[in-house]
Amino acid sequence: MMNSSDTTTSDTPFQPLSSQYAKAKRQYQQWLDKVTPFVLYRWLATAGLLAVFVLRIVLAQGWYIVCYAHAIYLLNLLLAFLQPKFDPSLQEDLLADEIEGGGEETSLPSARDDEFRPFVRRLPEWQFWLSSTRASVIALFCTFSEAFDVPVYWPILVMYFFVLFVLTMRRQIQHMIKYKYIPFDLGRKARYGSSR
């Protein structure tokens, strides 16, 4: 027979803290599950959070390095959102390497056919929203600490960011044109069944 000391879990001083953390984590996940279908409202809330962040930067006239780092991170997320999960240029390079190595070109249908292939993003919309919202909250909290208010000449950061933005977006648009894909759902929605 088992005695009562075998059935109880070992009580540690951190047990209440651990259970509270697990409860908070479950509530956070439950809230995320509730807001998942409301895409427009999620993005409006994130835009409002960004507006509060920018207002804080402008009115406080500081934390430009935090703003720059946040903008670079958002640009990185945007590029991952616009790129396909399976890069066609990488597939072409692998095929060229195989042919150069003495391999033969396969007779199976290749990705270069004009058949329909759905666009699969490298970074899904949900992860894009969640990462950008978390980054905005962290950046906003960083503006309340003097440790992150590094003195810097902000016009240089603004110019550097715009140059970086233009160059990366130009490269991304050229990639879209070359491989004929559009990362947005612009067409008419398909309707199945009789909707009379």
Domain range holding 43? 30-86+120-182
User: pLDDT for 51-92, tens place per residue?
Assistant: 999 999 999 999 999 999 999 999 999 999 888 887 766 666
pLDDT at site 186:
62
Distance CA 136, CA 139 (A): 5
Per-residue pLDDT band at 23 (split at 50, 70, 90): very high
Tally the domains of the chain: 1
User: pLDDT for 93-131, tens place per residue?
Assistant: 666 666 666 655 554 555 455 565 666 778 889 999 999
Q: Is residue 178 part of a domain?
A: yes
Distance CA 62, CA 125 (A): 31
Q: Is residue 177 part of a domain?
A: yes
- Summary mean pLDDT of the chain: 83
CB-based contacts of 183, cutoff 8 Å, min separation 6: 81, 82, 83, 84, 119, 121, 176
Q: Is residue 167 part of a domain?
A: yes
Q: Is residue 130 part of a domain?
A: yes
pTM of the predicted model over 0.85: no
Q: Is residue 146 part of a domain?
A: yes
Q: Where are the beta strands (DSSP E) in the chain?
A: none
Q: Is residue 104 part of a domain?
A: no
Q: Is residue 163 part of a domain?
A: yes
Contact 137, 49 (CB under 8 A): yes
Per-residue pLDDT band at 7 (split at 50, 70, 90): very low
Sign of torsion over alpha carbons 12, 17, 19, 21: negative
Is the pLDDT at 196 greater than 60? The verdict is no
Q: Give phi and psi for 73, each to the nearest 5.
A: -65, -40
Per-residue pLDDT band at 31 (split at 50, 70, 90): very high
Q: Is residue 93 part of a domain?
A: no
Closest to 74 measured CA to CA, from 129, 15, 140:
129
